[in-house]
Structure 1
Amino acid sequence: MDELNDELATAAWRKATKSASNDGNCIEVAPLSGGRVGIRDTEAPEKAPFVVSTGVWDAFIDGAKKGEFDF
């Protein structure tokens, strides 16, 4: 677990370029070792991020593009 925490602390976090029009309410993602992706709240980077497999991340992105999460 310490290795993951070290990796998360130095990860290359990024957010969508379109998030600027959303008052900063967005998430940041970072590629991690072992085929994982870190996900955190931009407004609370001190909180523990979610860590998912790239397969889970890819499925989420695919669903978002298809409108599966639209209200």
Structure 2
Amino acid sequence: MIVNQEIHQRADWRKSTRSGDSNPNCVELAPVAGSFLVRDSKLSDESPVFSLSQTDLTGLLRTAGNA
């Protein structure tokens, strides 16, 4: 599900510390009401935002870790 702009702007976005400050090619996560929002960090507030359940986020992270 794509999230509306108001929720997107109020979210507490976090980026992995492994990506460092100089690497904009990351995703950011924000916990919201039992789910997680995901966006492209290089696009910031202009990025599409997707809402994932904890199960879906875990699957995404496992898949990304094996890539």
Q: List gaps (5 residues or longer) in structure 1.
A: none
Report how far residue 21 of structure 1 moved. 7.5
Q: List gaps (5 residues or longer) in structure 2.
A: none
Is contact 2:40-2:48 (8 Å) kept?
Answer: no
RMSD: 2.3
What is the rounded CA distance, in whole Å, between the counterparts of 1:17 and 1:29 in structure 2?
A: 12
Q: How many residues align?
A: 64
What whole-Å deviation, never above 9, does each CA across 1:11-56 have from its counterpart, x for those lacking one? Answer: 10000001028722101000011x2111101111212211111110
TM-score, structure 1 length as denominator?
0.71
Indicate the structure whose relative CO is greater, using CA pairs within 8 Å and at least 6 residues apart. Answer: 2
- Deviant stretches of 4+, over 6 Å: none
TM-score, structure 2 length as denominator?
0.74
Query: For the pair shown, which has the larger CA radius of gyration, 1 or 2?
Result: 1
Matched, 1:28 2:28: yes
Report how far residue 62 of structure 1 moved. 3.1
Q: Which amino acid aligns with 2:40?
A: D
Deviates more, 1:53-62 or 1:37-46: 53-62
